[in-house]
Amino acid sequence: QSALTQPASVSGSPGQSITISCTGTSSDVGGYNFVSWYQQHPGKAPKLMIYDVSNRPSGVSNRFSGSKSGNTASLTISGLQAEDEADYYCNSYASGSTLGVFGGGTKLTVL
């Protein structure tokens, strides 16, 4: 399975909103509502932020939201805060592969 495509970097100022895209194919992102997003701070383990396209686990701020259109999923962070600066990875279930596929990751910089 090929990795999902994410922008290498995005940036925004505190209080602004940003969106990170994750583009796949009809065999993964477009074919299933099983997209998840993970936040990873330097030297730390990833943390689940969104699952099943748009569901937030308990304890995750409602400033984080997910959506999907066709073969592209998106993570939107509103009201940017300094603590949001991290790497973000999307993931999708993929047909023919129980393990699924990750995106290459996006580095979010809060200016």
The letter for the amino acid at 73 is A
Of 25, 76, 71, 27, nearest to 50 by C-alpha is 76
CB of 92 to another protein, least distance (A): 9
Contact status: 41 vs another protein (CB under 8 A): no
**Token pair 């689940």: residue:** 48
Contact status: 109 vs another protein (CB under 8 A): no
Of 18, 38, 80, 108, the one binding another protein by CB under 8 A: 38
Contact status: 105 vs another protein (CB under 8 A): yes
Contacts of 11 (CB under 8 A, 6+ apart): 18, 108, 109, 110, 111
Which stretches of the chain bind another protein, using CB under 8 A?
3, 32, 34, 36, 38, 44-48, 51-52, 57, 89, 91, 93, 98-105
